[in-house]
Amino acid sequence: MCAIQRARKTDAMAGDEKVPFDLASYERRVHENAQRGTCFICAIVDGEDDEHLVVWRDDVCIAFLAKFPTLRGCCLLAPLDHRTGVVDDFAEDEYAQLQRRVHRLGRAVAQAVPTERLYVLSLGSRDGNAHVHWHVAPLPPGVPYREQQYAALMHENGYLDLSRQEQSSLASRITGLLDVEPA
């Protein structure tokens, strides 16, 4: 059974179905943006990109739903400023401010969708999507062990082609659950 078929089987059990992701086109777009010096997160911050559904913004961070989610409810949280070093570019207090927001967002996401385990991780690349960001990704119940963790997050295993309406409804639910002010 190929990875996509496995992903379909898994997600059928979890209530979602993954479809193949066009990695080659995605990589091309990301590299072209990097070469042009364009940052998709800065574009969202500046209001130049309205395709991403923003769930939260304050004077420190912005958080939005993943445009090509591998798990329902996947969000990215990033500082408003364009910084690329996940720890080196932040003083300890600045980092803690962001992590309090990751915590708050994580609690909202885990309440918004059925979540067996919440994944939080910072990836990114200097060759594309360099702006520091944290993925906040909820694993639904019922996914077999081998298809959890990295396997659940990899676009090589497909993504959830959710409608704009489904994503908008998810975004509203998450925003509605962000009810605790961080310190």
- What does the binding site for Zn ion look like in residue numbers (CB under 5 A)? 39, 41-42, 82, 131
27 contacts: CB under 8 Å, gap ≥ 6:
128
Q: Widest CA span of the chain, in angstroms?
A: 48
CB of residue 131 vs Zn ion: minimum separation in angstroms?
3
Identify residue 107 by its one-letter amino acid code: R
Q: Which is nearer to Zn ion, 104 or 133 (CB)?
A: 133
- What number of other Cβ atoms are within 10 A of residue 157's Cβ? 22
Q: Which is nearer to Zn ion, 65 or 76 (CB)?
A: 76
Identify residue 154 by its one-letter amino acid code: M
Q: Which is nearer to Zn ion, 18 or 133 (CB)?
A: 133
CB of residue 130 vs Zn ion: minimum separation in angstroms?
7
Q: Which is nearer to Zn ion, 39 or 102 (CB)?
A: 39
CB of residue 84 vs Zn ion: minimum separation in angstroms?
8
CB of residue 98 vs Zn ion: minimum separation in angstroms?
14
Instruction: Give residue number: closest CB to Zn ion.
Output: 39
| Contact status, residue 47 vs residue 62, Cβ threshold 8 Å | no
CA dist list (Å): 61 to 51, 78, 81, 139: 18, 5, 8, 24
